[in-house]
Amino acid sequence: MRKALVWPALLAFSLWLPPIFAMEVQGRVFDYLNGEPLGSVDIHAATEDFSTKSEKDGSFTVSTSDATQMTLVFSKEGYAPLRITIWQDRLPDGMLRVDLMPQTHLHEEIVIVDDTHRLSYETTVDRGIIARATPDEAAALIGQIPGGDTVRRGAANGDPVLRGAQQDRLNLSCDGGMRVEYACPNRMDPPSAHIDLKSLKHVEVVKGPYAVRHGAVFAGMVNMVSRDLHYSDDGTSFSGAVEAGYETNGEGKTGNVELGLGGSRHALQLQLGIRDYADYDAAEGTSIPGAFKQDSIHLKYQTALTAHADLKAAIHRGETTDALFPALPMDMDLSRVLTASLEFRQRFEHAAVQSLSARVYATDNEHLMTNKRREIATRMAAVTDAETQTGGARIEAESLLWDGMLTFGSDYFTSVKDGIRTREMLMGPMAGRQMQDIVWADTDHDTIGVYAEYRRAIGDLVNMATGVRLDEVESIAKRPDPQFSAIYGNDLSERDSNVSAFAHLSFRPNDHLEWGVSAGLGTRSPNASERYIYLFPLGLDRYDYLGNPNLKPEENRQVDLSFGTHFEKFALKATVFYSDHQDFISARETDLVAPRTNNVLGVKQFFNIEDATRYGGDLTLDYRPHPAWHLHTTADYVRGENEGADDPLPEMPPLEWRLGAEYQRQQFSGGLLFRWVDDQDRVSHLFSETPTEGFSTADLRGSYDLAGFTLSVNVENLFDEEYAEHLSRKLRSDGTRIPEPGRSFFFTIRRSF
């Protein structure tokens, strides 16, 4: 009955055809990146002696004596010029929106540098969506994107998935390349766990190997872009916000403080955040271990060295304590991350090179986990102390070339992992005996790369983009377990030469239609776990895993086809993709060595699958019947296959469909979201994967602005549905997948000033 209630809403998605007007055009000009209106934009007709400027609110009105078409050129200092041709029979109904792209980006990295439209394989999650995300973590936000999902091992620190690609097959970075790596072999602390959503401006997502600027991209990229620092032309400016929240299920308490200070040449930004949760209840009332505590601090400073040069420094410290992971052998006592970065940017006028930027950064991730909260702790105490340090540097230039933008540069990335597990026997004949196991064999993973990317519009109908990247990757284990060396020898250094490349072409026959095709090659070298781990249970099955230094880099050859149509009230976008994986890294049983962990089924060794495939697609529909209403629906599906073994690839998400309605008028906004997830019975028998049943859920949200305050109430799992996600790991207590929380209410109050 609940599901039937929303079916009539689907009938609202109907195609609306705009009427034809005269050749007078009214519109507004905006900054493409921040959405702010642009005044004093020069607008002139290319074929007539006519020019005007936009008003302060970005509005303009132009007319032409040509009864068939007009060509307008928009230009403003600091922005890439934009040329638009408008035909009489394709005039927009209402205001024409024009977005100008900043020619150089002095304050932050972005993915989009195209000076006309976003390319079809790119998706942006804006700050409005980020602010409404629950739970308040990066993996949950990515899970809202069509094709996005989350691997859960506990209540905190979800691991994002995009079109079935996860872990190192998904490039996740901050501000265009800064990366924090996990220290736990079981990924209690994935890179997404060290990102505070409150510090973000927006998130850039690329579905496929179609990016080269931010490191090698195998199957997708997520770039978390931090909020801007703002100078002030009117003396010293001060701004900020204070936010407090509470969630009923898990007794979650959250807090956030944002402070900004700006002068004519200096800007400072401080952000503090906390999250404190207890165990949560599933829909049937079962208490699930999921408690955790998190706090973070971000400090950024930026100074204008000259009118065209900026220097920015940033420090971030984040800490998670007492985090429970019921799907893993241990819990997290402490995860402490420290990052520091320094960035310089210079803009040039009337020069071949438009801008030059340089950045260096370093991160340190300390990780401590124990089994002291588990029943086995009375017989054996286990403590793992691990640390991962990363660092990087990049220099990049932008240049206008043949009416397009050429971006080229070089970068360096290094990762060092080290860690020991100590086990002490407390009972039986071995009581008092201590054993130490090497978790990370003091591994080094160094990458140096060079890249170039070119984007341009060809006339008014065609957009193109292409890029190439070359990487030299070196890895070594300097302190391996003696038994590991007995299997593979003493020389454990490896070197890979990798090539990644892509090309994209989109065609717009008119203002309402777009066709796109993208093709790319993504190459990824094996990580420290795949090459050097020794007898640790890493996967979704009950096996110890053995690394393999002889692994080859894996390749992803992917093609995307897209179609989109856009009118004032209606928009549709559909994409299908096919990926052919060569030397895909997987694991199989081996008798090279006996298992080390109690109650496992054996040992699996990493190896290269000769041929594997992934394919699927996603669909998005948007309809705005009224300025206050927004109706939208999305669907996505992915299928993976180990072609040589005739077995599905493990951890492929099932078919998913979402339907939402949003309302916003004056101070009030609200929304209702329905989500249907199908059964998943295409499971890997080689990994003992078990099927999952489908489910449907509903979420409700609302907010109200009052006298500078914003009051928000969200209800997750409105109908208290009992369900588990297919990608969630299994509880060690009973072998069932971690259930999702039952009905939960979120209350938030925010004061901005």
How remote is the C-alpha of 471 from its chain's centroid?
23
Q: What local confidence, expressed as pLDDT, does residue 135 receive? A: 63
The full DSSP string for 316-375 is: EEEEEEEE--TTSSSEEEEEEEEEEEEEEEEE-SSSSEEEEEEEEEEEEEEEEEE-TTSG
pLDDT of 176-200, one tens digit each? Answer: 778 999 999 999 999 999 988 888 8
What are the structure tokens assigned to 614, written together? Answer: 């992934």
The lowest-confidence range among 148-152, 350-354, 713-717 is 350-354
pLDDT of 443-487, one tens digit each? Answer: 999 999 999 999 998 887 898 999 999 999 999 999 999 999 999
Give all domains of the chain, ordered by start, each with its CATH number: 3-14+24-100 (2.60.40.1120), 122-752 (2.40.170.20)
The lowest-confidence range among 99-108, 297-306, 434-443, 567-576 is 99-108
442/655 Cα distance (integer angstroms): 41
Q: What local confidence, expressed as pLDDT, does residue 330 receive? A: 95
Q: What local confidence, expressed as pLDDT, does residue 284 receive? A: 86
Question: Mean of the pLDDT values across residues 362-369?
Answer: 97
Grouping H, G, I as helix, E, B as strand and the rest as coil, residue 441 is strand
Kindly tell me if the per-residue pLDDT of 20 is higher than 60: no
Kindly tell me if the per-residue pLDDT of 413 is higher than 60: yes
Q: What local confidence, expressed as pLDDT, does residue 112 receive? A: 28
Kindly tell me if the per-residue pLDDT of 117 is higher than 70: no
pLDDT of 304-355, one tens digit each? Answer: 999 889 999 999 999 999 999 999 999 999 999 999 999 999 988 878 898 9
Side chain identity at 509, as an amino acid letter?
A: P
Question: Mean of the pLDDT values across residues 78-104?
Answer: 69
Which phi and psi (to 5°) does residue 413 adopt? Answer: -140, 135
Side chain identity at 469, as an amino acid letter?
A: R
Kindly tell me if the per-residue pLDDT of 687 is higher than 60: yes
Which residue bears the tokens 């064999």? 441
Side chain identity at 157, as an amino acid letter?
A: N
Which is more confident, 111 or 36? 36
* Confidence class for position 738, pLDDT limits 50, 70, 90: very high
Kindly tell me if the per-residue pLDDT of 49 is higher than 80: no
Question: Mean of the pLDDT values across residues 82-101?
Answer: 70
523/585 Cα distance (integer angstroms): 12
* Confidence class for position 96, pLDDT limits 50, 70, 90: confident
* Confidence class for position 19, pLDDT limits 50, 70, 90: very low
What are the structure tokens assigned to 677, written together? Answer: 């997830």
719/723 Cα distance (integer angstroms): 12
Grouping H, G, I as helix, E, B as strand and the rest as coil, residue 702 is strand
Which residue bears the tokens 């499971």? 683
